[in-house]
Amino acid sequence: TEKMEEEKILSRIPLEFRQSAKLRALTCLAVLFHGFPTEDNGHVHESFSCSMRTGESHHFDPKLFRQAVLSFQSDVEVPSEEVLKEYVLKILLPHCLRLTIYGNGPSTRDARGSRGEYETALGISVHPEHSKPRQSPIPDPLLPPQHHSIEAVCHASAILRRVKLLKACQYISRGDGISPNQVEAIARTKEVCDLKGLPVWWCPWLHDTALVVEAATKGLFSVFGVRDEHATFAPAPIEAFLRQSFATGRSALPSSNDTQANRMDMWIKKESEKFPELQEIERRLSLFCDAVTAKAANGPDRYINLPMFDHG
């Protein structure tokens, strides 16, 4: 019966993915880094235009996702957007859900957490790390659960969360469920203004909004590939923002001589080059999307900020 069930699952997987482990791996990595779009024709509200990297307001969609898969390795034959969408939504995400709930055990009776023989930094595995054959470090629907490492289980949880997080970013940036003015008002609340671990220049109503728009249009962590030329996050605009905030106007720090002014210039330049790590960006997006959707969204558009155990 178990073998028949496995064969039934395999028969639903598109042929292109059954024949190429590399394609399955690249698609999984693309979802892990970018999320996956659940809508095809969304756009950023015009009030958020100043936060966009380019004039392109179209949301990250299956076509852009396909380009993202190709960007990892261009010599792989990537199927159409429709086939990719079918594989991710109907095969990969359900597989990730199974791994997240049951772990890497072959059955619920042997699921992760039912025995404590093999404790790891990320959780409890039902078998030693690494067994033979070596376990997969990422979710692979063609492999049974017991051939997945505990890291694959954590990646499965992250994939589910990031697909939901991208959906929340696109919901917020559309501006139809909650207005841009409401988004800015929430960004100024005490809950969102906790900036622990972020650079001194981080301003929630500027940088959180720009981060959400960038994620909604180019994929969750696309900012890392374009930071140097980003209209909001490049060192030059951040340096200008720091200078305006700390070197001029009412909030200027005291400066008594040229030496102090030179130190200020050095400090501004040093701070403008700082940028959060990927996990910090994800936690920030998660906090912000939770706060915004809590005020306006219900059902599938609501995002809840849960502990990210895979962050360690």
For the chain, the DSSP string reads -HHHHHHHHHHHS-HHHHT-HHHHHHHHHHHHHH---S-SS-B--GGGGGG-SSS--BPP-HHHHHHHHHHH-TTS----HHHHHHHIIIIIHHHHHHHHHHTTSSSGGG-TTS--SEEETTEEESSPSS-SSPPBSS--TTS-GGGB-HHHHHHHHHHHHHHHHHHHHHHHHH-SSS-HHHHHHHHTSTTTT--TTS-TT--IIIIIHHHHHHHHHH-TTTHHHHGGG-TTTSHHHHHHHHHHHHTSSTTPPP--SHHHHHHHHHHHHHHHT----HHHHHHHHHHHHHHHHHHH--GGG-------GGG-
**pLDDT tens digits for range 106-119:** 554 444 443 444 55
**pLDDT tens digits for range 174-215:** 988 888 899 999 999 988 888 888 999 999 999 999 999 999
Confidence of residue 254 (pLDDT cuts 50, 70, 90): low
What's the pLDDT at 6? Answer: 67
Confidence of residue 104 (pLDDT cuts 50, 70, 90): confident
What's the pLDDT at 111? Answer: 46
What's the pLDDT at 112? Answer: 44
What's the pLDDT at 32? Answer: 96
Confidence of residue 73 (pLDDT cuts 50, 70, 90): confident
**pLDDT tens digits for range 29-69:** 999 999 999 877 788 888 886 655 555 678 999 999 999 99
Residue 5 has pLDDT above 70, yes or no: no
Mean pLDDT within 117-146 = 67
| Alpha carbon distances (Å) from 132 to 99, 127, 135, 262 | 20, 10, 7, 60
Give pTM, 2 decimals.
0.86
Mean pLDDT within 87-102 = 92
Share of the chain above pLDDT 70, in %: 81
Mean pLDDT within 75-89 = 94
Residue 247 has pLDDT above 80, yes or no: no
